Homo-oligomer: A and B are copies of this chain.
Amino acid sequence: MKYCSTCSTPLELRIPEGDNRPRSCCPGCGVIHYVNPKIVVGSIPTFEGKVLLCKRAIEPRYGFWTLPAGFMELNETTHEGAQRETWEEAGAKIKLGPLFTMFDVIRAEQVHIYFRAEMSSAEFCAGEESLDVKLFSEEEIPWDELAFKTVSKTLSLFFADRKAGQYTLHTGDVYDHTDWAASQFKV
């Protein structure tokens, strides 16, 4: 962020009065431009015990499998966002269940939240951002070809909870984010 989006004046990085961290401040119009984490909303769509995954047609992680998810938009709820992403990426209509995971991904400046979901039918199809969409049983999950750590963690918790006979909310964060390859979950 170099220029003020309100008046186009070059911005100054400084700590505003009464604040305690540097912000992009405009010496022209006085506006302070805050940057905050974004929310990624998604679902765990299931049909007859199988889970619906999408093969990514976009970067990052082109060709890897993921749960349907994307940035929450303005003018929608987290629930609506999860349903929209599932429709756009996987062509599936879902009945949303409870919130299942909420993970902080500090390095990406994001918070990822996944809801459990039941597909209304076996109908689905690859959206513009997917190369393929497929239902997987637990044994068929391509663990080594999953796109994101939050997806593999959400799936492994999902199957563990299902086996235990009780689903609970899981929150945590991908810490050790300075060494991404070695990073682990704190749940």
Q: How far is the CA of A34 from the CA of B71 in the complex (A)?
A: 10
Is A37's CB under 8 angstroms from B74's CB? yes
Contacts A99-B169, A171-B99 given; indicate if A76 touches B106 (C-beta within 8 A). Answer: yes
0/1 string, A97-130, CB within 8 A of B gives 1? 0110010101001010000000000000000100
Q: Which of A16-31 contact B (CB under 8 A)?
A: 18, 20-21
Is B36's CB under 8 angstroms from A79's CB? no
Is B71's CB under 8 angstroms from A18's CB? no
Is A71's CB under 8 angstroms from B36's CB? yes
Does any Cβ of B come within 8 Å of A72's Cβ?
Answer: yes
Is B3's CB under 8 angstroms from A74's CB? no
Q: How far is the CA of A76 from the CA of B109 in the complex (A)?
A: 9
CB distance from A110 to the nearest CB of B (A): 10
Q: How far is the CA of A173 from the CA of B41 in the complex (A)?
A: 15
